Amino acid sequence: MEKFIDYSYTRVSDDIALILEKKVSDDWRCNIWHIQGSEKDLIIDTGLGLWPLADGIIRISKKPIIALCTHSHHDHAGGLNQFNVRSGHIDELDIFAKPSRESTVATLIKAEHLIEKPNDDFNINNWCMKPAPITDPVKEGDIIDLGNRIFQIIHFPGHSPGSIGIWEKKTGVMFTGDTLYDGVLYDHLYHSVPTVFKESLFRLKEFPIRTIHAGHGPSFGKEKMFQIIEEYMSGKRSMVCPYKT
């Protein structure tokens, strides 16, 4: 049996683990989250999908798995095709089903973002993620019930039209995808709308957050969340920076 060798697997709390692609550079790879529930498991985001992901998770957990992408960009949704139950927001169904390099912004990834190629013939400059038609579409307010844990879908458009947060009220945990992480926030992509993105960040501030598990980089608490949002609003963390020419 093939081993789960292409990813690191780190438990961040009892039932939440962080999975990372070992062969993708730190600045590009997304956070893949594995939440083990009493009846079902939830995978949030799936990485580039260049190596077997679903097989490794199935060996860790015997429960049914829901794979949910925070949005359809190549670095988050590339591995979604490996799962049988595929979930994503209704506003990006076409991209998940018929991805192109342009629609998934795969034109941004370069050879230097891969530490190792999946095979000798692989060329990142013409790669496109495999189609992953959504089997379980989600929208604002929908509930994902893992048995002992209940998550709610929060629509945070702006980075992309169907970007979502996944909110657990009981623990104050929010998974934010590319809507919020500790870095420069991407508000300049072809389907990004900075004014809408700002509204989503204002909305995020209203939640009684304890922990943000971001789409990239480290997890953080409410204070850091406020700091990042404030810095973004002042232009420091924006790609559409008012102070740059």
Residues near Zn ion (CB under 5 A): 73, 178
Q: How far is CA 40 from the centre of its chain?
A: 19
Residue 78: helix, strand or coil by DSSP?
Answer: coil
By C-beta, is 190 or 243 nearer to Zn ion?
A: 190
By C-beta, is 168 or 178 nearer to Zn ion?
A: 178
What is the closest distance, in whole angstroms, from the C-beta atom of residue 36 to Zn ion in the complex? Answer: 26
What is the closest distance, in whole angstroms, from the C-beta atom of residue 79 to Zn ion in the complex? Answer: 15
User: Can you point out the beta strands (E) in the chain?
Assistant: 7-11, 16-21, 32-36, 41-44, 65-68, 86-89, 136-138, 143-145, 150-155, 164-168, 173-177, 211-214
By C-beta, is 82 or 160 nearer to Zn ion?
A: 160
By C-beta, is 21 or 178 nearer to Zn ion?
A: 178
Q: Is 124 exposed, middle or buried (0-12, 13-18, 19+ CB in 10 A)?
A: middle
What is the closest distance, in whole angstroms, from the C-beta atom of residue 6 to Zn ion in the complex? Answer: 22
What is the closest distance, in whole angstroms, from the C-beta atom of residue 105 to Zn ion in the complex? Answer: 7
By C-beta, is 73 or 89 nearer to Zn ion?
A: 73
What is the closest distance, in whole angstroms, from the C-beta atom of residue 73 to Zn ion in the complex? Answer: 4
By C-beta, is 58 or 128 nearer to Zn ion?
A: 128
Query: DSSP string spanning 171-231?
Result: TTEEEEETSS-SS-B---STT--HHHHHHHHHHHTTS--SEEEESSS--B-HHHHHHHHHH
What is the closest distance, in whole angstroms, from the C-beta atom of residue 65 to Zn ion in the complex? Answer: 22
Judge contact between 31 and 213, C-beta under 8 A: yes
Single-letter amino acid code for the residue at 190: Y
**Cβ partners under 8 Å of residue 112, min gap 6:** 25
